[in-house]
Each structure stands twice: as C-alpha cells, then as structure tokens.
A and B are shown apart, each in its own frame.
Chain A
Amino acid sequence: MNKLPMLLDCDTGVDDAVAILFTKYLNTLELVAATTVAGNVEVEHTTRNTLQVLELAGMGHVPVYMGADKPLLGETVTAHHIHGMNGLNDIELPLPKRAAEAMPAWDAIYEFAKKTPGQLTVVAVGPLTNLALAIAKYKELPGLLKRIVIMGGAAVGGNVTPAAEFNIYADPEAADMVFTCGAPVYMCGLDVTMRAYVTAQELDEIAALGSKQAVFARDVMQGILQFYCTYKLGGVAFHDPVTVLYADDDSYFQTDHAGVRVETKGKLTRGKTVTDLYSDKQMEHNAYVVTNLDREVFKRRVFEIMAQYGE
C-alpha cells in the first residue's frame, strides 16, 4: 500500500521527540518533512532537537525547515519546567550531522502541499504560528491539504491556565486562523490526550524492548511523571505521539464534528478553544474534535511501533 505524505510541524519537546520516533513506522503515512516552531523551548532548540531525534530514528534523510521564533503577537511562551533546558529532559543526543534547510517553514509547508495536491496531512503538535503564516501567505494552501491534525486545545478545561491548553495559549491568534482556514481541522486536545497516558511501569517495559530509541523514549518522558501527579493521572500523557497515531489511523478514536473558535481577548480565557459540543447554542461546525480513544489499542500501537526499532 502506498503511504500518503505527512508533514510534522513541531516544537520538540519531550513528547514531540517520541512523536518523531513514531512517524517512522506508521501504517498509512510517510513523513516527508518536519518544520519547527518556538514553543516548549526556543526555536533554535526545537530545530536542533528535531534534527537529533530524526537521526536517532534513522530518518536523517527527512528535511527540516526552521519556522517562527515567536508567536504572531506578543512574547514567546515556553515550558522549560516540563521539557528541561534543552527541551529533551536535558538528555544530550549526538550533535546533528546536518543543519536545517534554508527555506523557512511556512514556504516548505506550501511547497510540499503543492507537490501532492489533496494528499498532504499536516500534523501540528506545537503552537500554530507556522501554519498561520503559511495560510496568510498562500491563500490556496487550505484547499491543497488533505487535513490538518493538531495537538492543542481542549473542549473541557486546560493545563497552562484553567481555561487554556499550552499550544493554543502560546499563539491564540494563529490557532484561530488555522481553525477557520477552510481545510478540515482535527483537534486532538486534552480531552483525548490526557486519556492517552503511559504508566511508569509501561515506560520501563518500552525501554526493556532494548533499542536505543526505546530507552531514549522512556528516559525523555519519565522526567514529567511527577508533573502529572497534579492531574491524578496514572502516568505521562502522550499528547504529541497520540496525535500522530490519530493521523495515521483514527479507527479507535471517537471524533465529533463541532464548532471551534479560539478566545483571543479574554482576561482569564485567552487561548481557550471554545467548542459547542456540550452547549445548547451551536456554532458553524468548522472542525472535528477528538474526545475519546480505546486506550488498550493505543497501548498496543505504542508497543508495536517501538518494537520495530529492534533490540
């Protein structure tokens, strides 16, 4: 079976790193490019981390394009307390053998979309600045995409604030541009990603698979186990990796067609993804919200993929 092209827009990041590892062994998608953005850490770090993790995965051939170093408006919001100073839980991977391409991320997104009209899936797991800039520059871009799958937002609740999830909070204006761009947008928010957790014991079982990639996956994720105690979660949320798995195969997830807009002006609610899933009042249904998954199938996929890296 021919795999369809996928572009990963990321702010690597501990869970982005695992998401990158996952892209090598998907059933329906092939990673053709990665673009980077400031988010979990500064864009220089996310770009270097992306290059390093791709090489660790044996995907040094996938081109990397550096993107925005700050949101459309305002100042960069980072999360060093979760991802470490270097963004990879301060694990030092070998220095990358190559550099990012010269083309900026937003041009790369357009070029890859144009190459395969109607076939490219963009999986965006960081703040949505690059996609927003690409949409602003190329008005035909939304019509060229198969779909946009984002990790971000929440129909209910938030994490960085009580009302907002980090990726959307980091660039709310960009997020609203993406949700209203006209391409099919699929939102893997906290509603589903908090259910896609992996326990401490399961992380050790992943490492026990034996490959250096599997050991790295455990080591990079276990630094944030403590953080999730606040949420009474049994393990670490695989926010970005589960989003890649959703893009690959959505058959074990629940998805609802819904209206989604991003609050950009609220004092307490800036960055909230407002959805009409549970309200009397309905909005224009411009997006798909992923609300649940079969965790057993998710877990099986995690182990299947990581096992393919060998021992």
Chain B
Amino acid sequence: MNKKIPVILDGDPGHDDAIAWVLANASPMLDIKAVTSVCGNQTIEKTTYNAGRIMTLIGLTAPLAMGRVKPLVADAIIAPTVHGNSGLDGPALPEPSAKPVSQDACTLMAEILEASEEPVVLIPTGPLTNIATLLLLYPHLKSKIRHIYLMGGGIDFGNWTPAAEFNILVDPEAADVVFQSGVPITMAGLDVTEQALVFPEDFERIRALNNPVATVVAEWLDFFYGFHRSIGYPGAPVHDAVAVAALIKPEIMTMVDMYVAIETTGDYCKGTTVGDKHGTLGKPANARVIMGIDRKAFVDLLAEAAAHYGASHFGKEA
C-alpha cells in the first residue's frame, strides 16, 4: 500500500467544511496530522467549538488548534444566514471529547511541518488567515508544504458580493500572501463548486446509509440547502468538499493553470480573484484552477465516504 499523504485541515465549520472533513477522514490515502480553526462562517470561538464537535462525531483524534481571532487586516465578516447562529445549525452533535491544544493554529502547523519528514498538504476551506500567517512567520517552511488545496475565490463570478467569494472577501490580504507565496496551489473556487451540487435525492441516498455520521451529513445537507433553495439553487453546493476531492480524486475534474491575483482594494472588487485566462499579463501561472467537475462522481465520492462510518469505524476507535 502507498504511503499516506500527511495533511492539515484548516477551516471555519460550517456545513461544507464539516462534510469536507467527513470526506478527508474517510480516505485511506490521507493521514490527518492536525485540524486548525479560522474565523469565517462564524466567530473563532464558534468555529473552534464546531471543529471539536465534528472531530468527535467522526472519530478524528488529531490535535485541534484555534486560529487567529480576526482576519490579518480587515474586520471579521460572518455568515449566519448560510450556516446559522452556531455556524453549524441543524442536527444535535456530541460535545467535543478533547480541548484545543494550547498552541495557536499557525504555531501547531509550523511544529508539524518542522517535524514532518515529508512535505505536508494543507487544505484550507475558510479564509486564508492562518495559512498566510504561517507563510509570513515561517517562510523557511514553504519547502515543507507539498501543496495547498484551497476552497476560495471564483474566476468568473462571486457570491457574497457580485465580484468576490466569501473566503477571499473575508481576508483578501491573507489570500494575496498565499497566492504570491510560490507554494503550489489548487484552487477550488465557485467556478467548480457551484457545479458540485448535491440534490435532495442525494441527501436521501446518504441518509439511507443509516450510520451515525451519514445521518448527520444528510441533516447538515438539509439545513445547508435551506439557504440555497431560498435563492434558487436546485441543490446544495458543497464547496469545501471539492478541495478535498481535488486531492483524492482529481480525475473527476477539469483544471486550468493560470496566473491568479487578489484584488485588495476597490469599491466593488475587494476580494476578487483575478484570473488571467488569456495570458494578458504575461505572468507565469501560480495556481491550478478547477473549472469543472463530474457532479455524479462527486456525489458518489461523498456517499462512499459517508458509508465508511459504519459500526466497524467506531469499533476500531474504541
């Protein structure tokens, strides 16, 4: 069997972060070294608490570290309309079985990178505050980062504002640091994640798996779809899970290498990911941008991951 890929999950859970982590934790390809929280969908206290609850639910025992209280420069923006007041409304969840470690997120990430014999993959699915802080404080550790698979941005359109996607809008300066870092990036932006729709009939397929995690995933999807249905979506775009899927199942996606830069000022475009599709700027590509996905294969991947959490999964943990 191939060696597992060491990864760090960094997110602001959030329903789609939660489902991304269910997917990552079910994959035999990945060795989850740590989980770090960031403020985004909700305040840092809430996203950290949610991260602990998710880890307990899915039996993930890696260390959890809390991220920075706010974005690098900007004030925090939260998204209660999408994720509820708790940041992860919907089904009841177990209380966290362990406390966050005493180090902050970027210190824990730095320690893991230092100690790791091989480069580590980072999977940020929230604002890029922690990743940028890591890159700014420990530039010598760049070589220990194998790749960043991120959910954020959109080359052709935005969501939270007409020109910007939420994760990039919340901390544009951090995103700028990450995209200019030279670390290999795969970007799962709205171009692909709005195609990664999970339909109500798919919820039922997952619910029918009838294990404790699958049941919760179906109920998360029920809740998450509520907001999206109200603005006309035929399904729930499970944005963050695309970033994980890009690592474990890239063959179901189409990707284009291009130069991507972050707009950090402007009346309407703060947080825009400007993608140089036609090479107008003549700069070398710094990101692999995912532009398409086989939706059915993506849903199959989520369903298979949810099926992984039968009795034997928890039996092993106990």
Contact = CB atoms under 8 A, between A and B. Distances in A.
A275 to B, nearest CB: 6
A269 B272 contact: yes
B110 interface: no
A297 interface: no
A155 B277 CA distance: 15
B126 interface: no
Contact of B280 (A161, A261, A265, A278): A161
A265 B156 contact: no
Nearest to A270: B266
A276 B232 CA distance: 14
Contact of B265 (A259, A265, A275): A265
Given A259-B162, A269-B163, A269-B274, A279 B267 contact: no
Nearest to B279: A230
B158 A266 contact: no
Contacts, number: 95
B146 to A, nearest CB: 28
- Tell me the dominant secondary structure on chain A's binding face: loop
A162 B265 contact: no
A165 to B, nearest CB: 12
A265 B162 contact: no
A163 interface: yes
Contacts of A161: 280-281
Given A266-B272, A274-B268, A280 B279 contact: no
Contacts of A272: 163, 268-269, 272
Contacts of A267: 263-266
A157 B157 CA distance: 9
B161 interface: yes
Contacts of A283: 162
B264 A279 contact: no
Given A156-B156, A261-B267, A279-B157, A162 B163 contact: no
Given A267-B263, A280-B160, A163 B277 contact: no
Interface in B92-109: none
Given A161-B280, A162-B281, A280-B231, A269 B161 contact: no
B159 interface: yes
B261 A261 contact: no
Contact of A162 (B159, B262, B275): B275
Q: How large is the interface on B (under 10, 10 to 19, 20 to 34, 35 or more residues)?
A: 20 to 34
Contact of A263 (B269, B276, B277, B278): B269
A291 to B, nearest CB: 12
B274 A268 contact: yes
A281 B157 contact: no
A264 interface: yes
Contacts of A158: 280
Contact of B156 (A230, A276, A278): A278
Contacts of B162: 259, 274-276, 278-279, 281, 283
A163 B279 contact: no
| Residue of A157, A266, A277 most packed against chain B (CB within 10 A) | A266
A93 interface: no
A160 B270 CA distance: 20
A283 B159 CA distance: 12
Interface in A208-263: 230-231, 259, 261-263
A159 interface: yes
Contacts of B231: 280
Contacts of B272: 163, 266, 268-269, 272
| Residue of A267, A272, A277, A280 most packed against chain B (CB within 10 A) | A280
| Residue of B264, B265, B270 most packed against chain A (CB within 10 A) | B265
Interface in A146-170: 156-163
Given A263-B163, A281-B161, A162 B266 contact: no
Interface of B: 156-163, 231, 261-270, 272, 274-281
5 contacts: A163-B272, A259-B162, A266-B266, A274-B163, A281-B160
Given A163-B269, A268-B272, A269-B263, 11 more contacts: A156-B156, A231-B278, A263-B267, A265-B266, A266-B265, A266-B269, A267-B264, A268-B262, A268-B269, A269-B274, A272-B268
